[in-house]
Structure 1
Amino acid sequence: MKVTPEHNEKIAKMTFSSVYPHYVTKVEKKGRTVEELHQVINWLTSYKEEQIQKHIQQKTTFKDFFEQANINPKAHLITGMICGYRIEEIEYPLTRQVRYLDKLVDELAKGKTMERILRTDN
């Protein structure tokens, strides 16, 4: 599945605060915690709890959210399919970073260990 420029633009304009409640619902429904979700977000972006809350309150777009982040150097190890796209084949960096986050949330909800999710065994 090819990512279109229109799709990339839609992702860039989407706010982190509009997606965040879905992340929370997804992980809590599977018995995981908001603290674990924040640990995953921190690993990918280096955002601390206060920064995550600030982005939610300010309705930061994904474009700004990821531009201000320090992406983990191991993020390239996040591979596989998410939302019908193979992550490692997504060329547009912002869309790939958003899909990294989606994939990490998915792995958390599926019950993977934090060591596997945070790629500490690689």
Structure 2
Amino acid sequence: MKNQRVYQMSFASVYPLYLKKAEKKNRSKEEVDGIIFWLTGYDADSLNAQLVKKVDLAHFFQEAPELNPARKEIKGVVCGVRVEDIKEPLMQEIRYLDKLIDELAKGKKMEKILREPSP
């Protein structure tokens, strides 16, 4: 039941929290958006449309144009839980995004956050 309430939260209500967390650590809206684009396949226009429509988190991820297959490489702990061990698919998607924003706020380089191969 607790997860159901999380899924019903609008992405528009969570997005400013991601921005605030990043900007507090001198990171930019463009970087936050870049992470969202990489993870979900949204672009600036489609992300803005989701924000305007105030879609819930469940629909935000269900309607994502193309979830990045490299997201399965995201490992680590968010809220005391290892993201790779989360069994519920939607909660795992949400926590993937949380983990990437955490990495941004901790000062990781975008190339590392976006799991780009080293040259």
TM above 0.5, yes or no, is: yes
* Structure 2 residue ranges without an equivalent (≥5): none
Is the Cα–Cα contact under 8 Å of residues 8 and 92 in structure 1 kept in the other structure?
no
Is the Cα–Cα contact under 8 Å of residues 40 and 104 in structure 1 kept in the other structure?
yes
Match of 2:34 among 28, 39, 49: 39
Distance 1:85 1:28 in 2: 25
Query: Which SS does the other structure have where 2:5 is aligned?
Result: helix
Match of 2:5 among 2, 10, 13: 10
Distance 1:100 1:35 in 2: 18
Q: Does 1:91 align with 2:91?
A: no
Distance 1:62 1:38 in 2: 16
Q: What are the Cα deviations for residues 6-25 of structure 1, in whole angstroms up to 9, with x where unaligned? A: 23212211110110010010
Aligned ranges for residues 42-81 of structure 1 at < 5 Å? 42-69=37-64, 70-81=66-77
Query: Which SS does the other structure have where 1:74 is aligned?
Result: helix
What TM-score comes out, normalization by structure 1 length?
0.92
* Structure 1 residue ranges without an equivalent (≥5): 1-5
Instruction: Give 1:46's aligned amino acid.
Output: G
**Sequence identity (%):** 45
CA RMSD of aligned residues (A): 1.1
Distance 1:100 1:51 in 2: 20
Q: Using the TM superposition, give the Cα deviation of residue 52 of structure 1 relative to its aligned residue in structure 2, in angstroms.
A: 1.2
